[in-house]
Amino acid sequence: MHGEKSETYSNNIAHIKILCAKIKDGQRIVKTQSYSDLQTFFHTQTFTTEELLNIFSETHMHFLNGLRDKSDLVREKSCDFICDFIINICPKNDFYLSYVFPVLVERVGSPELIEECEEIRLKMVNFLKCIIEKYFEHEQLKPFYQDCITILCETLKDRSASIQIASCEVVILLSKALPKSFHLQAESLLKPTLKCFTHRNSKVRVKAVEATGKIIMHSTFRGVDEAIGPMAERLFDQVPLVRETVARVASCWLLKHRDRYSYFQKMIPLLITGLNDEVESTRLLVANLWNKVGDKFLKENEEDLKDQLNFLNEIPKNYPKHVDRPNLGCRVLVQRNISKLTQAISNELSSWQEDVRVRCAQLLCTLVLHAEESITMHLQAILPSMYGAARDDDKRVVDNIIQTGKYISTFVKYDCWGPLILPLLEDGPHFGHIKLLAALIEGSPLEDFDTYCEPLSVVLAEDFICCSRNKNYQLALTDCQETMWQKIKALGVEEEVEIIDKLKNCSLKSEEEKLCIIECNMFKIATSLIALKHIENDDRINVQLYHDLFSQRKMMFLSVKLLNHINRSPQLWTLANDDFCIFLSLLENTFYGIGPNLAIINEILINALNIEADVEMRLKIFFILATRFGAPDFLKSSEQNDEFNSMSIESFFERLINDVFVPSLVWHAGNKAQTIRTMAVTCLTFALTPINDKKVFHSGPMLLQLVTKLLPLLLSLLEDAAQKSRQMAVECIIVVKKLCVSLSIWNLEMFLQIYPEIFKRLDDPTETVRISAFHGIKQLFYYLPKEFLEPNFQAQRELIIDTLMTHLDSHEEKDQKLALDVLMIASAMNISEMRNKIEIHRPLLRNKCDCDKLLNRLNELEEHEDLYESVFSKV
């Protein structure tokens, strides 16, 4: 029996040597076939451990030399055979490894590229992986640990993604197979592994992060410092799996790293950044991992935290809604490291990389939510960076900074954050300060807001703060104001009528004075925003801002203080002046605020419309005044507030005419002066025109005094170079005539002074002026002074008729029609004179049809005396 076995073994050895000889000297096809035959042979035969050792001792040179063959196919077959032989056939014995590892190091572990075939390099790395798996936690693997490190240091730098992935897997496996020895050379693998972090293949990055996690678990402080930066960069990876892997690795470090207490400030951001990940599954995973870290920290420090566990386990009163409070371990972990974290985040908030700024803003928000009141002592460090980040172009950064501001004021009293931001506001803020202030106000508890609302409103209402034309600044200030107003409403202010009554009676108590000051400041801010708004902010900043904050009745009284405030040298205003813009806004938008403030408005207008003031500014005011005076409810709004007025509407216009319109209508040379005259007479026309049968003047003597000054100036305007001035002068004269008639001061002297000048305008080169002149003459014949019908004025009456008859035969059909309308009225002056004139002119005129109409009109007047009387009684 023993002899048969010996003979069989001898035959097997002989057969193996024959195949090895073919490997040594044969051609490529023969060599590859020999390796296949050897593999088949070893699987079909059974050998003892001792026999395998003998076979390997005698033939290993032939097996391993195949890995150096020139042919890729031969080297591949050789690698497959050796891997199968060592892993599947041979028992565990470092004898085999002592021959295999030198060849592996030679082929894939040297700095030079020896093995050129990528597929074979991958097979060799997988062969190494199989060896480690077979000798897992086995002492026989230890002597070859350095060879493994040497090989991995090179294969991790391979160009092939598959080889890098396989190498990272081998690193992970090796850390588990030799945990007690891995720390000796672990750091030498760190740099090659970190280089894989930037590979374009996401699978490589995932495996590299996992491998780094294992390496750091066995490294010193140098390894941690070196790995944190590249790991943090992977938080911005576009692939969710990479970010998720970073979180898993970071949680492992926080739970198991032997020196984790020394590196909490570096490891915590790697994990909790994932709480704001774009992918929900990642957020949920990170939240779960973070809770585990907090629970373990709490368990390890239970003795130190027992007071907080027993007495501070209730959620704070003003804790943000819809936010789950982190567990105590997580909160304490952050609170103990917040000083180091905030400084780093403050630096990175100004990074040139957009994604870095976004992640840092998110991280800061999360840290503040964990730190709660512990953030107080670090506000001075983080607020400056938050001011800058609030101005970021990326909306995501701004949103997170705003949310952070809300959290800060929720946990920190105004006494702490107020003194830090108010000096900056007083020194001249940018919109980042204002935007963050709005967030701080919004997050502040209502009971705290009541204590600082007044001083804050006073600061915000300062001219250098509320008067800005910057687009973003205005939007930030609008947010701030609206937030403050919502808080004020939430405090439950008194009924508006009661407040107004106390304002009238000047019987304010301290709290009421406080509310009055706040509302006045809010009104000033709103008015400044509307007056100076950027053109792109029109959808957000408009008159609706008034309606949202104040009632019309309250605006009447709030505007008083603001008008007094801007009454600073109005004669020096220009179009760009802030006070001028605010004044115009009040005139345009706070319509019901004009009534109770006539005295101060009158004073401002007299100074601003001084003839020495800026021309463009005067034109703008005249235009706005014309719009206001022509509004249907202008007089009504003033009359409704007579009880509050220090000046009647009549006195208002008397001073305005004497001190503004009269000087503005005086002729001066130049185009600017001409434009001023046009706008002034237009504005005067609107001012004097009755609205809904309500007149501006009720005193005849006062009006007569004003007409005496105005009439010569208006008549001189009929000769003005500007056709618009001539047209508006005619219309204004007729308005003055109607007012005089209504107050019974219309007389012959005025008529004789006016009508010749208007008749001259019938020959005006401009059609609109001629039309206005015809309408004006027609109005002059209503309420004609009776003295003008006496015989001594016959010559003037005949001149009027002759002039109109001439225009009745005009080449312009429109002029003919207008002249006929006037003659129909004028014919009532003296029927016989009119008939004689028609008979004289009819043969000479082409327009005989209209002459016949006039004769018919005269016949009607003779037959009906009541019709004759009605002509001169119509207004």
Per-residue pLDDT tens over the stretch 857-873:
777 776 665 554 545 55
* Residue 311, pLDDT score: 64
Average pLDDT over residues 349-358: 91
Percent with pLDDT over 90 in the chain: 49
At 138, give phi and psi (nearest 5°). Answer: -115, 140
pLDDT band with cut points at 50, 70 and 90 for residue 101: very high
Distance CA 524, CA 522 (A): 5
Question: For residue 726, how many other CB atoms are within 10 A of its CB?
Answer: 23
3-class DSSP state of 691: strand
Whether 730 shows a pLDDT value over 90: the answer reads: yes
Whether 657 shows a pLDDT value over 50: the answer reads: yes
Tens of pLDDT along 448-493? Answer: 887 888 889 999 999 999 999 999 999 999 999 999 888 888 876 5
Whether 645 shows a pLDDT value over 50: the answer reads: no
Pairwise pLDDT comparison (547 vs 136), residue with the higher score: 136
* Residue 573, pLDDT score: 92
* Residue 377, pLDDT score: 92
Span of 75-89, 608-622, 691-705 with lowest mean pLDDT? 691-705
- Taking each helix axis as running N to C, give the angle between helix 145-155 and helix 161-177, from 0 to 180 degrees, rounded to the nearest 10: 150
Q: Which residues contact 465 (CB under 8 A, 6 or more apart)?
A: 425, 429, 459, 477
Which amino acid type is present at position 668? H
Q: Which of 398, 307, 305, 384 is nearest to 343 (CA)?
A: 384
Give the tokens for residue 290. Answer: 């973070």
Pairwise pLDDT comparison (831 vs 647), residue with the higher score: 831
* Residue 658, pLDDT score: 92
Distance CA 87, CA 105 (A): 18
pLDDT band with cut points at 50, 70 and 90 for residue 813: confident
Triad 299, 305, 310: Cα angle to 5°: 105
Span of 140-154, 299-313, 633-647 with lowest mean pLDDT? 633-647
- Taking each helix axis as running N to C, give the angle between helix 671-688 and helix 615-629, from 0 to 180 degrees, rounded to the nearest 10: 20
Whether 495 shows a pLDDT value over 50: the answer reads: no
pLDDT band with cut points at 50, 70 and 90 for residue 17: confident
Q: Which of 191, 195, 250 is nearest to 226 (CA)?
A: 191
* Residue 786, pLDDT score: 85
Tens of pLDDT along 416-436? Answer: 999 999 999 888 889 999 999
At 694, give phi and psi (nearest 5°). Answer: -105, 125
- Are 686 and 630 in contact by the 8 Å Cβ rule? The answer is yes
Average pLDDT over residues 218-239: 92
Using the structure block, give the residue that is written with the tokens 């386990």.
313
* Residue 454, pLDDT score: 87
Question: For residue 393, how many other CB atoms are within 10 A of its CB?
Answer: 8
Span of 35-44, 602-611, 667-676 with lowest mean pLDDT? 35-44
Q: Output the average pLDDT for the chain.
A: 86
Whether 874 shows a pLDDT value over 90: the answer reads: no
Whether 781 shows a pLDDT value over 50: the answer reads: yes
Average pLDDT over residues 599-626: 92
3-class DSSP state of 766: coil
Q: Which of 426, 418, 425, 540 is nearest to 474 (CA)?
A: 540
- Are 756 and 764 in contact by the 8 Å Cβ rule? The answer is no
Average pLDDT over residues 49-77: 85
- Are 46 and 88 in contact by the 8 Å Cβ rule? The answer is no
Using the structure block, give the residue that is written with the tokens 């209730």.
314
Helices (H), 689-766: 700-717, 723-742, 748-760
pLDDT band with cut points at 50, 70 and 90 for residue 664: very high
Torsion angle of the four alpha carbons 38, 40, 46, 51, in this order, in degrees rounded to the nearest 10: 10
- 174, with CB counted inside 10 A (0-12, 13-18, 19+), is buried
C-alpha of 86 from chain center: 68
Distance CA 543, CA 748 (A): 49
3-class DSSP state of 390: coil
Whether 395 shows a pLDDT value over 60: the answer reads: yes
Using the structure block, give the residue that is written with the tokens 């059974």.
46
Span of 294-308, 336-350, 454-468, 750-764 with lowest mean pLDDT? 294-308
Tens of pLDDT along 134-156? Answer: 998 888 899 999 999 999 999 99
Average pLDDT over residues 820-826: 82
Question: For residue 617, how many other CB atoms are within 10 A of its CB?
Answer: 21
Span of 374-378, 539-543, 579-583, 646-650 with lowest mean pLDDT? 646-650
- Which DSSP string do the residues of 621-645 spell out, in sequence order? HHHHHHHHHTSTTHHHHHHTTTTT-
At 16, give phi and psi (nearest 5°). Answer: -65, -40
Give the tokens for residue 404. Answer: 């952070």
* Residue 170, pLDDT score: 95
Distance CA 154, CA 157 (A): 5
pLDDT band with cut points at 50, 70 and 90 for residue 508: very low
Buried b (16+ CB within 10 A) or exposed e, 415-451: ebbbeebbebbeeebbbbbbbbbbbbbbbbbeebbbe
Span of 352-366, 555-569, 639-653 with lowest mean pLDDT? 639-653
* Residue 176, pLDDT score: 92
Which phi-psi region, left, alpha or beta, contains residue 118 (left: φ > 0; alpha: ψ -120 to 50)?
alpha
- Are 611 and 667 in contact by the 8 Å Cβ rule? The answer is no
Domains of the chain: 257-412 (1.25.10), 431-550 (no CATH), 791-875 (no CATH)
* Residue 512, pLDDT score: 65
Pairwise pLDDT comparison (503 vs 19), residue with the higher score: 19
pTM of the model: 0.81
* Residue 864, pLDDT score: 63
Average pLDDT over residues 645-674: 87
pLDDT band with cut points at 50, 70 and 90 for residue 27: confident
Q: How many residues does the chain have?
A: 875
